[in-house]
Structures are given as structure tokens and as C-alpha cells.
């Protein structure tokens, strides 16, 4: 596609439920990031995929968070047993040797 | 690991005022530097970038940034802001000359321009 696509754009879930957020990067981009943007907070790095290398998971806030990138393209961020503090906008970005291009984000609200 | 500092978290200016937003990073080697902007309701987009060459970089909408290696800084400037510049501004650094390294973002500066 022309840009980075994320789905869903909005997600409301009950506390304790699991959620999956999807990111379709720009075709051919080998690097893919997940970030979290909370109200009043900056951009928080979660996880980074680069080609076939092992992902950099150093930003994941707890073991309830995990991400996969299948076939070097689509990525899924999974949050298990969601908590209210997980409410945020989850952003995906991809790049190929230049600047990163961001998706519109998924606004997650845990009630 | 590299870090990026943006010391101004919230800035309020009147239209036509000059703007300078600070960005400092901690890595001493080769870096690529970026400023991103997020207008209300829109996604993050690139404002300008520095890879090499002239340390004074011109971006869109009249913005510029100067890379000062000795100060580990990449401050964003605009001589005269407009109401439409109200947005969040994020500085980012990527270590190394190649494209395979991770971007590190600062915490952002929320700019509000008043009429």
C-alpha cells in the first residue's frame, strides 16, 4: 500500500480481555516499530523488528505484551489481560534506510 | 544506549513569535537526526532530517534545524510561527550510518500558538 496501515483505528475492550493490534507496513520496508503514546506522555518505544534479526523487545512494559512479524511484513501486537493503564494510542512505523513512516495508530481504551 | 532529550515539554507562543525547540542526544558517533510533527488529529510526519553535509537543514513550512556536533544538539527553529503550527514536535536519533538501526525518540514538545 501507499502508507503504513493500522487496524483497528479504535478499540474499546474490557479489563482482563486480550487484544490484537495489526500493522501493515510499507511494502519493502525491512524495519518495523511499535510505539505507545499515552495522554500527556511522550512516544514510548515498545518493540523493533529489523529484517530477519531477533526483535528488540527492550521496550515492552510487561510480559503481557508480545509482538510478531510474519513473513517480514505484517505485524501483530498482542496485549493479554488488558489493564486500564494500557489505554493509549499504539503507533506502528516502518522504514527502509531513510526516515520512518507512521500509521494513524490504534486508540485502545480499556474500561 | 543512546538517549534523546527535549527539555521543553510545553511551549506557548503568540503568532509571529520566533521558535526554538531544543533537542540533545547522548551518542558520540555518526547519527541521523530527525524532527517529526504531529498536528491535531493527524499522524506523525517527517518535518526534516539530517544525514550528512550542510549542518543547517531546511524542512517544510519554513522550519529549519541546525546540527551542532560539539553540542550533541539538533535544535528546531522557525523565525515566525503561525497558529497552524500548533502541534507536537518530536526529535529522533538513529545511531550509525546505515539504515538498520533503531530510531530513538525524545518525549516531545507540545507547541501551542495563540492568535
Residues A16-57 have pLDDT tens digits of 999 999 999 999 898 999 999 987 677 888 999 988 888 999
| Share above pLDDT 90 across residues of chain B, in percent, rounded to a whole number | 72
The label of the residue with cell 534523546 reads B4
Q: Residue B43 and residue A56: Cβ atoms within 8 Å?
A: no
Residue B14 pLDDT level (bands cut at 50, 70, 90):
very high
Q: DSSP assignment, residue A56? A: B
Q: What are phi and psi of B84, to 5 degrees?
A: -70, -5
Q: Which of A15, A31, A18 is nearest to A69 (CA)?
A: A31
Q: Give the pLDDT confidence of A75-102 residue by residue, as tens digits.
A: 999 999 999 999 999 999 998 777 889 9
CB contact under 8 A, A50 and B104: no
> Percent of chain A having pLDDT more than 90?
73
B97 pLDDT exceeds 60? Answer: no
Residues of chain A found within 8 Å of residue B44, distances taken between Cβ atoms: 91, 93, 102
Beta-ladder partners of B110: B10, B88
pLDDT score for B1: 65
Nearest to B54 by CA among B46, B64, B43: B64
- Chain A residue closest in CA terms to B96: A97
How confident is the model at residue B100, as a pLDDT? 57
Residue with the larger pLDDT of the pair B101 and A6: A6
Q: What residue has cell string 506502528?
A: A92
Which of B11, B39, B14 is closest to B114 using CA atoms? B14
Cα A77 from Cα B39, distance rounded (Å): 25
Q: Is the dihedral of CA B97, B9, B112, B71 positive or negative?
A: negative
Phi/psi at A70 (5° precision): -90, 130
Give the pLDDT of residue A30.
87
Lowest mean pLDDT among A1-5, A59-63, A66-70, A75-79: A1-5
Range name among A26-40, A94-108, B41-55, B90-104 with the lowest pLDDT average: B90-104
Asked if residue B113 has pLDDT above 90, the reply is: yes
Q: Does B43 touch chain A (CB under 8 A)?
A: yes
Amino acid at each position: 500500500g501507499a502508507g503504513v496501515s493500522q487496524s483497528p483505528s479504535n478499540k474499546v475492550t474490557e479489563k482482563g480481555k486480550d487484544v490484537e493490534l495489526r500493522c501493515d507496513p510499507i511494502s519493502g520496508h525491512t524495519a518495523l516499530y511499535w510505539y505507545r503514546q499515552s495522554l500527556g506522555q511522550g512516544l514510548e518505544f515498545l518493540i523493533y523488528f529489523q529484517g530477519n534479526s531477533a526483535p528488540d523487545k527492550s521496550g515492552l512494559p510487561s510480559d503481557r505484551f508480545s509482538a510478531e512479524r510474519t513473513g517480514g511484513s505484517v505485524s501483530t501486537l498482542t496485549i493479554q489481560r488488558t489493564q486500564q493503564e494500557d489505554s493509549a494510542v499504539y503507533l506502528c512505523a516502518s522504514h527502509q534506510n531513510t526516515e520512518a513512516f507512521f500509521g494513524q495508530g490504534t486508540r485502545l481504551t480499556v474500561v | 544506549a543512546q538517549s534523546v532529550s527535549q527539555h521543553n515539554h510545553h511551549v506557548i507562543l503568540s503568532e509571529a513569535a520566533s521558535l526554538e525547540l531544543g533537542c540533545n542526544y547522548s551518542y558520540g558517533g555518526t547519527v541521523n537526526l530527525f524532527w517529526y510533527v504531529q498536528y491535531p488529529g493527524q499522524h506523525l510526519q517527517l518535518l526534516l532530517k539530517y544525514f550528512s553535509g550542510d549542518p543547517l537543514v531546511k524542512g517544510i513550512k519554513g522550519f529549519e534545524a541546525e546540527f551542532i556536533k560539539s553540542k550533541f544538539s539538533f535544535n528546531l527553529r522557525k523565525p515566525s510561527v503561525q497558529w497552524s503550527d500548533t502541534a507536537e514536535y518530536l526529535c529522533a536519533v538513529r545511531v550509525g550510518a546505515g539504515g538498520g538501526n533503531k530510531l530513538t525518540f525524545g518525549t516531545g514538545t507540545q507547541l501551542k500558538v495563540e492568535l
